Amino acid sequence: MLAAEPPRTPWDLSFALFRIPVRVHPMFWLVGLLLGMNAKTAIELVMWMIAVFVSILVHELGHATTMRAYGYYPSITLYALGGLASYGPSAYGARRLGSFEHVLITAAGPAAGFALAAVLYLALRLAHFEVIVEVGLPYLIEIGVAEIVWSTALSRFINDLFFVSVFWGLVNLLPVYPLDGGQIAREIFTKINPLDGERWSLIVSFTTACFLAVIAFVQLHSVFTAVFFAYLAYWSYAALSMGSGPGRWR
């Protein structure tokens, strides 16, 4: 959910996956640690960190592989609460991207996370493990194993992977900038109204983020979630005040 790629540091972790360059900024690990501070043991914290890394990387790979399918050379940066899949240069004969292609690229991130959860669910069921699926607040959909899968550490990792892949994917589909849903909303609004669509998408983003910040604070009693959506509401308000919306990012 980045608006721009963060500056490089000496502590970046860099590697390639499926010939796609990946860079992990130190802030990614720091924020992951802060979000996992409720872990009761060091092993639980390690499992959480691995689950966050795998899930967010799969999410960004969804964006990146779709970009490459259209003839571009993408790269991935993991940072803070999410990441960025950049377009990079285009190959000879690459397709020009319109609104439909941008929507597909954007939606491919959450779709990859949901696909990861679905494959994990099927693998567990084929191995005759019980998997519980619950629908409701505060996480909309909760999926987890109801028994120990070979070890408590592996069971914790599986549940964390389910949580991040599904819940973060659902959050990302909200029509709020700079989440994937906010970018999809912008493409739809600007397609309907090229002159004023971007402003309307920012209004929807601001209104939705404000509403969710209030719900998180009053109903869910989650200060972190309330601050998160309040920041996104301010971000949309600032973009509206400047009279211009954000560029494309993944």
Structural domain containing residue 241: 175-250
CA angle 61, 189, 72 (to 5 degrees): 30
Mean pLDDT of 67-91: 86
Nearest 10 degrees: CA dihedral of 155, 157, 158, 162? Answer: 140
User: How many structural domains is the chain composed of?
Assistant: 1
- Long-range (24+ apart) CB contacts under 8 A made by 229-233 are 229/176, 232/176, 232/177, 232/178, 232/179, 232/205, 233/205, 233/206, 233/209
Confidence of residue 249 (pLDDT cuts 50, 70, 90): very low
- 232 part of a folded domain: yes
53 lies in a domain?
A: no
**Has residue 45 got a pLDDT over 70?**
yes
204-to-57, 218, 240 alpha-carbon distances in Å: 28, 21, 11
Report helix, strand or coil for 129. Answer: coil
- Residue 208, domain member (yes or no): yes
Helices 223-242 and 197-218 pack at an angle, to 10 degrees, of 160
Q: What local confidence, expressed as pLDDT, does residue 137 receive?
A: 67
Within a domain: 216: yes
pLDDT of residue 189: 94
In a domain, 135, yes or no: no
Q: Is 176's pLDDT higher than 50?
A: yes
The residue-averaged pLDDT of 215-225 equals: 84
Residue 142 lies in a domain: no
Structural domain contains residue 82:
no
Residue 225 lies in a domain: yes
Note whether 117 and 133 are within 8 A (CB).
no
Q: Of residues 172 and 243, which shows the higher confidence score?
A: 172
Query: Can you say how many angstroms the Cα of residue 87 is from the centroid of all Cα atoms in its chain?
Result: 17
Hey, what are 78's tokens?
Answer: 């993991």
Residue 6 has pLDDT above 90, yes or no: no
